[in-house]
């Protein structure tokens, strides 16, 4: 049976868990899935602005919105996510692993030269950016299997695919930590591994965004744009289209794939 595009896009009433929901990309994704009339479970770190964001969302939308504080460095916190969802929705349709330590995270021994990157922070980044996604998928498999069209979306990065050109960071305070790239590369392989293991009930894909504009220093932005065929940095909303595609029936025969959303950065 051929579905109409409108029908393929229909995810009204689906339950959607978004990690790092109060972050920049997390907020854009949350607004998009609220517009699509999903039941939302917003997850973020206890020190984040999650409650403020949830209140802002509730002013605009009347969806069922729940929020859960969770430190993704804590397996005990991660173990509480499943029971929390089960209590409220009894099923999980869409899981977006979006939370991460990012280049601008304020961590010791992180966005600095190779010599100064710390092993402790490397380990923490692998925990948050990679091992947490593994645990969330593992522990919520049964809830996802209850869905008629479960979709997992892992948010990677172009730096999980390409090596960095450190010259674009010269004379700025920005840098590109090895653990960020390595954790995101691992997430892409986790996507492929899970896609075959969880098929046919659950689809698993990833999105690898390129650099998003956040008032970075002018010289950095200029160098970044020079390397980007579409001649601009990304915005949070550039990520939304790929997430909607991967979560709806528009992509019902797509699994184990990675959508690169980078203005063509990797095409040269």
CA distance 129 to 127: 6
- CB nearer to ligand NAD: give 93 or 236: 236
- CB nearer to ligand NAD: give 157 or 251: 157
Q: How far is the CB of 71 from ligand NAD (least distance, A)?
A: 5
Q: How far is the CB of 81 from ligand NAD (least distance, A)?
A: 11
Q: How far is the CB of 82 from ligand NAD (least distance, A)?
A: 16
Rule CB under 6 A: which residues touch ligand NAD? 20, 22-26, 44-45, 48, 70-73, 98-102, 128, 155, 157, 209, 211-212
- CB nearer to ligand NAD: give 4 or 231: 231
Q: How far is the CB of 143 from ligand NAD (least distance, A)?
A: 19
CA distance 145 to 259: 24
Residue 18 main-chain phi, psi, to 5 deg: -120, 120
CA dihedral of residues 200, 42, 30, 220 (deg, nearest 10): -100
Which residue number is nearest to ligand NAD in terms of Cβ? Answer: 23
Q: How far is the CB of 199 from ligand NAD (least distance, A)?
A: 24
Q: How far is the CB of 134 from ligand NAD (least distance, A)?
A: 14
- CB nearer to ligand NAD: give 20 or 263: 20
Q: How far is the CB of 197 from ligand NAD (least distance, A)?
A: 22
CA distance 251 to 74: 33
Residue tagged 């025969």 (tokens) = 253
CA distance 186 to 71: 20
Closest CA to 103 of 257, 192, 218, 216: 216
- CB nearer to ligand NAD: give 24 or 64: 24
- CB nearer to ligand NAD: give 36 or 155: 155
Q: Give how far the C-alpha of residue 201 lies from the chain's centroid of Cα atoms, to the nearest Å.
A: 21
Q: CB neighbours of 155 closer than 8 A, spacing ≥ 6? A: 25, 96, 97, 98, 100, 187, 206, 207, 209, 239
CA–CA distance from 50 to each of 11, 64, 99, 113 (Å)? Answer: 24, 15, 12, 32
Q: How far is the CB of 172 from ligand NAD (least distance, A)?
A: 14
Q: Where are the alpha helices (DSSP H) in the chain?
A: 5-8, 24-35, 50-60, 75-79, 81-88, 119-126, 132-145, 178-197, 218-226, 237-247
- CB nearer to ligand NAD: give 45 or 141: 45
Closest CA to 156 of 185, 194, 131: 185
- CB nearer to ligand NAD: give 77 or 93: 77
């Amino acid at each position: 049976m051929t579905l109409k595009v409108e029908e393929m896009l229909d995810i009204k009433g689906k339950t959607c868990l978004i990690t790092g929901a109060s972050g920049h990309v997390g907020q854009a994704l949350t607004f998009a899935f609220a517009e699509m009339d999903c039941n939302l479970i917003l997850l973020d770190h206890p020190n984040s602005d999650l409650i403020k964001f949830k209140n802002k969302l509730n002013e605009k939308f009347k969806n069922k919105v729940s929020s859960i504080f969770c430190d993704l460095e804590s397996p005990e916190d991660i173990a509480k996510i499943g029971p929390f969802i089960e209590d409220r929705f009894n099923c999980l349709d869409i899981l977006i692993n979006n939370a991460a330590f990012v280049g601008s995270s304020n961590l010791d021994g992180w966005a600095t030269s190779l010599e100064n990157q710390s092993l402790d922070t490397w380990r923490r980044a692998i925990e948050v950016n990679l091992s947490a996604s593994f645990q969330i998928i593992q522990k919520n498999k049964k809830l996802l299997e209850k869905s008629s069209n479960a979709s997992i979306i892992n948010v990677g990065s172009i730096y999980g695919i390409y090596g960095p050109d450190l010259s674009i960071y010269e004379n700025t305070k920005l840098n590109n930590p090895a653990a960020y790239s390595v954790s995101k590369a691992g997430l892409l392989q986790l996507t492929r591994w899970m896609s075959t293991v969880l098929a046919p009930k659950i689809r698993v894909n990833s999105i690898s965004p390129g650099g998003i504009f956040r008032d970075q220093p002018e010289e950095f932005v200029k160098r970044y744009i020079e390397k980007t065929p579409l001649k601009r940095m990304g915005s949070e909303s550039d990520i939304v289209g790929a997430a909607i595609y991967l979560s709806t029936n528009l992509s019902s025969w797509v699994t184990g794939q990675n959508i690169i959303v980078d203005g063509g950065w990797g095409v040269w």
